[in-house]
Amino acid sequence: MGGNSAEKPALLVNGKRVDGRGVEDLRSVKIVARVLNDAEGSAYIEWGKNKILAGIYGPRECIPRHDQSLYRAVVKCRYNMAPFSGAEEHGRSGPNRRSKELSKVIKEAFENVIISENFPKTEISIFVEVLQSDGGTRCAAVTAAAVALADAGIPMKDLISAVAVCKIDGQIAVDPGKEEDNFGESDMPIAFSPRTGEILLFQMDGNLTRSEVARGLELAKNAVSKIRAVQVEAIKKVYDEPKEDRFLLIG
Amino acid sequence: MESLNEIKRDTLGALLEQGKRPDGRGMHDYRKINLQPGILQNPEGSAIASIGKSQVMAGIKFDVAKPFPDRPTEGVLSTSADLLPLASHLFETGPPSDESIELARVVDRGIRSANIIDLNSFYIEEEKVLALYIDLFILDHDGNLIDTAALAAMSALLSARMPKVENGKIIRGEFTGKLPVKEKVVTCTFGKLGSKSFLDPSLDEEKGMDCRLTLATTPKHLCAAQKGGWGTVTEKDLMELLDISLDKGNELRSLLRD
Domain boundaries, chain A: 18-237
- Using pLDDT thresholds of 50, 70 and 90, give the confidence band for residue B9: very high
- Using pLDDT thresholds of 50, 70 and 90, give the confidence band for residue B258: confident
DSSP B6: H
**What value does the mean pLDDT of chain B take?**
96
H helices then E strands: how many in chain A? 4, 12
Question: Cα dihedral sign for A145, A127, A91, B40?
Answer: negative
- Using pLDDT thresholds of 50, 70 and 90, give the confidence band for residue B1: low
Q: Which residues in chain B are closer than 8 Å to A133, comparing Cβ atoms?
A: 42
Distance CA B129, CA B120 (A): 9
Query: Beta strand pairing status for B128-140 and B76-83?
Result: parallel
- Using pLDDT thresholds of 50, 70 and 90, give the confidence band for residue B109: very high
- Of the candidates A72, A149, A82, which has an alpha carbon nearest to the alpha carbon of residue A116? A72
* Total-model pTM: 0.95
Residue B101 clears pLDDT 80, i.e. is over it: yes
Put simply, whether A103 touches B (Cβ < 8 Å) is no
- Closest in A49, A129, A246 to B86, CB measured: A129
Q: Which residues in chain B are closer than 8 Å to A245, comparing Cβ atoms?
A: 32
Closest-CA distance, B183 to chain A, in angstroms, reads 24
Residue A4 clears pLDDT 80, i.e. is over it: no
Query: Chain A residue closest to B174 (CA)?
Result: A87
Put simply, whether B157 touches A (Cβ < 8 Å) is no
Put simply, whether A137 touches B (Cβ < 8 Å) is no
Give pLDDT tens digits for B150-209: 999 999 999 999 999 999 999 999 999 999 999 999 999 999 999 999 999 999 999 999
Distance CA B66, CA B128 (A): 5
Closest-CA distance, A243 to chain B, in angstroms, reads 13
Give pLDDT tens digits for B62-82: 999 999 999 999 999 999 999
Put simply, whether B42 touches A (Cβ < 8 Å) is yes
Per-position b or e across B133-163, b if 16+ CB within 10 A of its CB:
bbbbbbbbbbbbbbbbbbbbbbbbbbbbbbb
CATH number for the region A18-237 comes to: 3.30.230.70
Closest-CA distance, B106 to chain A, in angstroms, reads 19
Selected residues 16-35 of chain B with any CB under 8 Å from a CB in chain A: 32, 34
Give pLDDT tens digits for A71-95: 999 999 999 999 999 999 999 988 9
Question: Cα dihedral sign for B84, B89, B94, B96?
Answer: negative
Instruction: Find the mean pLDDT for residues B112-133.
Output: 97
Q: Which residues in chain A are closer than 8 Å to B88, comparing Cβ atoms?
A: 38
- Using pLDDT thresholds of 50, 70 and 90, give the confidence band for residue A5: low
* Domains of chain B and any CATH numbers: 2-255 (3.30.230.70)
Query: Beta strand pairing status for B211-217 and B128-140?
Result: unpaired
